[in-house]
Amino acid sequence: MSEHVRKILGDRTVHTYGQYVVASRYTMRDCGPGKISFRGRTHTFLRCVVVHSVEIDVITVHFLSPREGLNATRYEGAAGLDDWQQNFEDRMTQARALADVVVASRRPVIVAGDLNAPEGSPVVGALPDAGLRDAFSSAGNGYGYTRGDSLRPGISFLQIDHILVSSALGVLDCFVGSKDGSEHRPVIADLLLERE
C-alpha cells in the first residue's frame, strides 16, 4: 500500500491482500482470503470480521471482467460467442461461490467491490438470492453510475461497483463519489449496524 493511501487511512485498522484493502476504525479479526476460482484459475476475495456492537463479515471482491468476452464478439462476431458464453459462466461461478460464503455466514454481511455487472444482471442477481440487497437501490438517488469517465464518451454510464448488505443491516444513505483518483467512482454508504 502506498504511503499516500496509508496517510489517508490514518490510524484505522488496515488489512491488505493483493488488490484488496479493508480499513476500519473498529477492531478487525480473522482477516484472510477466500476463493472464487473458476476452471482451475485462482481468484480470491478478502474477508474480515469487524467487531463493534455486533460482529460483521466485511467482504471486498472483484469479479472477472466481461471485457474478453465482449471483445471476442465485437471483433469475431458469431465466432466469438463461445468466448462470451465461457466468460459469462466463469463470472456466474464466481458469483455462486461468493453467494455460498454469504449464506454460510452466521453474522451480518457487507459485500463491497467491483462486480463488473449491473444490479439487474444474473451475475449480481446471485447475491440477492443469498439474502443481500444493494445499498444504492435501497437508499440512493439517481443512477449510481460508477464507470465510464475514462471511456468514450467520457461520462459515467455503467453501474458495476456495488455495496450489498444483509437484512440485519440498515441503509441510511448511499451515493457515488467523485471521479478523481480512479477509473471507478467509489460507492459510499451510511449503514446502521443494528436495524430497528
CA distance 156 to 174: 17
The amino acid at 11: D
CA neighbor of 22 nearest in space, from 54, 61, 65: 61
Rg over CA atoms, the chain: 17
Tens digit of pLDDT at every position of the chain (196 positions): 778 888 888 999 999 999 999 999 999 999 999 999 999 999 999 999 999 889 999 999 999 998 777 777 777 877 778 888 899 999 999 999 999 999 999 999 999 999 999 999 999 999 988 999 999 999 999 888 887 666 677 677 678 899 999 999 999 999 987 777 788 889 999 999 876 5
Q: What's the helix, strand, coil split of the chain in %, to 5?
A: 30, 35, 35
